Amino acid sequence: MLGLALIRPPGHHVMPTRPMGFGLINTIAILARYIQNRHGLKRIFIFDFDVHHGNGTMEVFWEDADVLYGSTHQAGLWPNTGKVTNVGQGAGVGATINIPLPAGSGDAAACLVTLRPRLVFEEVTLRPRLVFEEVDPDATCNTNVATQWHGSCLKRWTLMPRAKHGDAAARLVFAEVVVPAAERFRPDMILVSAGYDAHALDPLASLSFGTRTYGFLASGLARLATRLCGGRLMLVLEGGYHQASLGESVVATVRGLMMPEGSEAEALEAAAEGMTAGAGGRTAAGSEERLEEGPRDGAGVDVGRVREDPEPMGKVRDVVAHVRRLHGL
C-alpha cells in the first residue's frame, strides 16, 4: 500500500487536548491509531521531515513503545521542542528520535536577483513594451520560481543547487539514523509527516533543502517500506508555505515514490552508503570535505547581490553522531 494525502491544515503540532500551529486535529496521530485499531498493524514508524518539530505527535506517543517517532527539523525554531535528549518516557523511552538540524542545512540556496523595469519601443510599430533587466548580470541563477515587486524593481527568487554533495544533510540523516532505527524497530507500516517548509525558498525557516531532496527521501522511504513492511507507506502533507516550491517538491515526492527499482532509490542508497563508515556517526574518507559556499536568501541582501554562507555539515555530523550514540544506532 502506497499513498500520499494532500490535506490541510497541517496537524503535527496539535496537542492531545488543544489545537496548535495552524492545525485543528493531529491527522498523522489519528491515522496511526486507526491503522493500529482497525487493521491490526501494531508497530508504526512515523517519520516527520517538516522544518518545525512535530511537538503534538511527540506528545501523543511520548510513552508508547509501539510507535517510533523520528523527526528532522530546524534547531531552535518554533515551537522550540525536539531536543536530541527528548527520547520518550516510561515504556516509550527510546521510541522518540529527534534530529535538530542547524540553520542552512541542505543542498541548495536561494538567490535574490533584482530586475529593473525599462520601457522600450518596437522598431517598426513603435509599440511600447516593458522589459526587465538584471541589475547584476553575474547574479543570474538557474530557474525562476518566484517574483515579487519591491519599490520600482522586481525581485526574483531563484534556486541554485550546490555543485558538490547535493542533499548531503538529508542523505546523512537517512543513512545513519532513519534506516538503522527503522531496521531495529521493524515497523508494520511507515507514516510520514511530509512538510515542505525546509525548502530553501520557504519563508518560515532557514533550512536549505532543494526540490530533489524530497524526491530522494521519497525513493528511500519507499524502498525501506518495501524491505521492512511489505511496501506499506503513507505520506500526509504538513507544512510548506512557498507555493511554487511546494508544488515542485510534492511532484518530486510523487516521482520518488513511483521510481522503479534500480533507479533513483538505488542512487540514494549508494550515496548514503558512501557516507557511512560504521557506528558512532563516522563518515567515509573524503566526506569531511565541506560543501562549497553558495548564495543564500535573507534580510539585508544588497540590490542585485547575494549573501554567501558555508554549508554547516560539520554541525550536522555532530548532531547525527550524538543521536546515534544516544540511541545505540
Active site residues: 13
Residue 209 has what DSSP assignment? B
Query: Are 45 and 189 contacting, i.e. CB atoms less than 8 angstroms apart?
Result: yes
Identify which of 297, 307, 293, 306 has the alpha carbon closest to the alpha carbon of residue 164.
Answer: 293
Sheet of 189-194, strand order:
2-5, 233-237, 189-194, 44-48, 67-74, 96-101
Distance CA 145, CA 125 (A): 33
Residue 172 has what DSSP assignment? H
Which residue's entry shows cell 521542542? 81
Cross-strand pairs, 113:
156
Cα-Cα-Cα-Cα torsion 293, 294, 297, 299, nearest 10 degrees, comes to 50
Element (H or E) spanning 158, and its range? Answer: strand 153-161
What 3-state class would DSSP assign to 121? strand
Element (H or E) spanning 120, and its range? Answer: strand 108-121
User: Angle at CA 242, nearest 5°, toward 318 and 70?
Assistant: 35
Cis bond before residue 137 (omega within 30° of 0): no
Q: Which three cell numbers stand for residue 33?
A: 491509531
